A and B are shown apart, each in its own frame.
Chain A
Amino acid sequence: QVQLVESGGGVVQPGRSLRLSCAASGFTFSSYAMHWVRQAPGKGLEWVAIISYDGSNQFYADSVRGRFTISRDNSKNTLYFQMNSLRADDTAIYYCARDRSGWPFDYMDVWGKGTTVTVSS
């Protein structure tokens, strides 16, 4: 079955870095664009980044542009999210989600269960 499993979350000090991973299975990963979406404690959903099926196009929310980088390894069916210069307001559950299309983008149709990132000293 189609499945996305996030990992790499944890507690990190402000200013440090963390890399999240999302392992995909049950579908042809290289055919689909992929998203990262986050949800701060008690708050709503915030879209943060997307990467096209082949990795050639990436787009970011203003809140993370220049600090976070989305990437993918289609040979390993894995999506990544490199998060640098972390701040307290980056504390959230981070979900990876599949886009229904490879390019242009369409909508998020499959979601992982999420991984929790806590930025605290």
Chain B
Amino acid sequence: QSVLTQPPSASGTPGQRVTISCSGSSSNIGSNYVCWYQQLPGTAPKLLIYRNNQRPSGVPDRFSGSKSGTSASLAISGLRSEDEADYYCAAWDDSLSGFVFGTGTKVTVL
């Protein structure tokens, strides 16, 4: 089961800012980098944010990540219809000696 907790859903109107939280513990988020993935319907996940707040080339700067203690957040500003997707956080867990994913958040653009 997932050890990183995310809200099941988030929504906003076009142009709004949406924030997704990811809550973990000292063995994962508290001591390792966090990354975020976007999964559009019927497709494979895509890297959105790595090392807490870094964007791969090609990812719009509307997406930003942050981390504080044992929690992390993904913010989407200027929300667009194509941002409708599932979003997952992930981190290495020292206690489990493996990666863990968040429970996932479905973003809906109203």
Contacts and interface: CB of A to CB of B under 8 A. Distances in A.
A34 to B, nearest CB: 12
A111 B102 CA distance: 18
A18 interface: no
30 contacts: A37-B45, A37-B101, A44-B101, A44-B102, A44-B103, A44-B104, A45-B37, A45-B101, A46-B2, A47-B90, A47-B98, A47-B99, A59-B97, A59-B98, A61-B98, A62-B96, A95-B44, A106-B33, A107-B47, A107-B51, A107-B90, A108-B37, A109-B56, A110-B47, A111-B44, A111-B45, A111-B47, A113-B43, A113-B44, A114-B44
A109 B56 CA distance: 9
A47 B100 contact: yes
Which of B35, B97, B99, B104: most chain A CB closer than 10 A?
B99
Given A45-B101, A95-B44, A107 B96 contact: no
A87 interface: no
Interface size on A, as a range, is 20 to 34
A63 to B, nearest CB: 9
Contact of A107 (B2, B33, B100, B102): B33
Contact of A35 (B46, B51, B99): B99
Nearest to A114: B44
A98 to B, nearest CB: 10
Interface in A50-71: 50, 59-62
Contacts of A113: 43-44
Nearest to A6: B44
A32 interface: no
Interface of B: 2, 33, 35, 37, 39, 43-47, 50-51, 56, 86, 88, 90, 92, 96-104
B98 A46 contact: no
A37 B44 CA distance: 11
Contacts of B51: 107
Contact of B50 (A45, A100, A112, A114): A100
B92 A44 contact: no
10 smallest A-B Cβ distances: which pairs?
A: A47-B99, A44-B104, A107-B35, A111-B44, A45-B101, A107-B50, A109-B47, A59-B97, A59-B98, A45-B88
